[in-house]
Amino acid sequence: MSGMSLSLREQLLKAGLVSEQQVQKAERDQRQQHQRGSHNVPKDKRRGPTPQQLAAQKAAAEKATRDAELNRKKQEKAERRARFAEIRQLVEQHQVPRVESDDFYNFQDGTNIRRVPVNTELRSRLIAGDLAIARCEGRYAFVPAAVGQRIRERVERALIHWNDPARKPDADDPYKDYAVPDDLVW
């Protein structure tokens, strides 16, 4: 052992207190401990991470947070595009052809009153709730009510107008007792 004098080692061996194998194992353990650099320093005396290491860890955590947020936004954007693509496909597959007419159907889109040309058949189907009006790529389209419900499930604001026959007037509506004729042209 490097820490023991040869005479002490020999004395311990001669006295029978240690064997040759125990001495060799002790020497091996001491060499390994010396190579690792930990010289039995108590945990409370060891140094913690340096300020540079702490700053690097903080920067890495912030970068991971930013990356996760960017990935979440990209995912939301991709999902939104997919929903609008589904709406476009539904409208293209189920759209009722438009007509040219001097008769118009008026409806509310947000705070604006819009109008689309209709014939008597389209007007009666819109009033009955058989057809709905959906907005797709800035244009209005007539679609069957069932397709309108599927559009509403994907993006609620894409379904602009639908006369739901099961819908009851609001309890706080001051005009709920006054019936407005469905065929009123204004």
42-59 per-position pLDDT tens digit: 555 557 788 888 888 888
In a structure prediction context, what are the per-residue pLDDT tens digits for the chain, which is 186 residues long? 455 556 677 777 777 777 888 878 888 888 888 777 655 555 555 577 888 888 888 889 999 999 999 999 999 999 999 988 898 898 888 888 888 888 888 888 888 888 889 988 888 888 888 898 888 888 888 899 888 888 888 888 887 777 776 666 666 777 666 765 555 555
In a domain? residue 51: no
| Position 147 in a domain | yes
Going by C-alpha positions, the residue among 54, 39, 1 that lies closest to residue 23 is 1
Per the CB < 8 A criterion, the answer to whether 145 and 152 are in contact is no
Judgement on whether residues 125 and 180 belong to the same structural domain of the protein: yes
Q: Does the residue 42 lie in any domain? A: no
For the chain, what is the domain count? 2
Residue 79 domain-assigned (yes or no): yes
For residues 31 and 65, state if they share a domain: no
Q: Which residue range is the domain that position 5 belongs to?
A: 1-35
Q: Are 11 and 64 members of one domain? A: no
Same-domain pairing of 30 and 119: no
Residues 29 and 70 in one domain: no
- Within a domain: residue 159? yes
* 22 and 108 housed in the same domain: no
Please check whether residues 23 and 108 belong to one and the same domain: no
Q: Which two tokens stand for residue 86?
A: 């589904």
- Give dist(CA 125, CA 104) in Å, integer: 14
Please write the tens of the pLDDT for every residue from 124-147. 888 888 898 888 888 888 899 888
Q: CB under 8 Å to 142, separation ≥6 — which residues?
A: 95, 96, 98, 116, 122, 126, 131, 132, 133
Q: What is the pTM of this model?
A: 0.53
Let me know if residue 41 belongs to a domain: no
Say yes or no: 65 and 145 in one domain. yes
> What's the rounded Cα separation, in Å, for the pair 165 and 132?
12
In a domain, 96, yes or no: yes
Whether 45 is in a domain gets the answer no
